[in-house]
Amino acid sequence: MFIWQDPPRRKARIEIIPMIDVMMFLLVFFVLISMNVIPAMGLKTRLPGSTQSHVLDHTYHAVIIIGEGGRIQLDGQDCSLRSLAQRLDGLEKRHQQLDVVVDGDKDSLLQNLINVMDVVKASGISAISIVAKKK
């Protein structure tokens, strides 16, 4: 009697190459997100250009964002001009070297910038920088 044999079944394999690719992409995204980049927090702004921009060296940067409609944020949280002064005083007590970085939308009014700079100067902080992209 003749017996037909079933073809040998192939065992399931776990492909390692696609898994490595996925892990590399996750690692790259984690590194990019963990870098504290100014545009990553708060309002989206379109920066004005400057030919004389450079990197700041102070230890703590308080980032003030002035949005297109006049919205103001300090370190990614909404605030008004009155509460801005109080929050800056609190930051100044916590950090010995504090400077302020003003990130403003290019379509926001100049008066909004002047108002924010007045509040910062009244808080006793003399190091103010304005964010611009290099042309």
Listed by start position, the domains of the chain span 38-134
Q: What is the pTM of this model?
A: 0.56
H or E segment to which residue 123 belongs: none
CB 119 within 8 A of CB 61: no
Residue where the block lists tokens 């997100």: 33
pLDDT band at 74; cut points 50, 70, 90: confident
How far is 67 from 45, CA to CA, in rounded Å?
A: 7
CATH of domain 38-134: 3.30.420.270
| pLDDT number for residue 9 | 78
The residue among 65 and 38 whose pLDDT is bigger is 65
pLDDT band at 93; cut points 50, 70, 90: confident
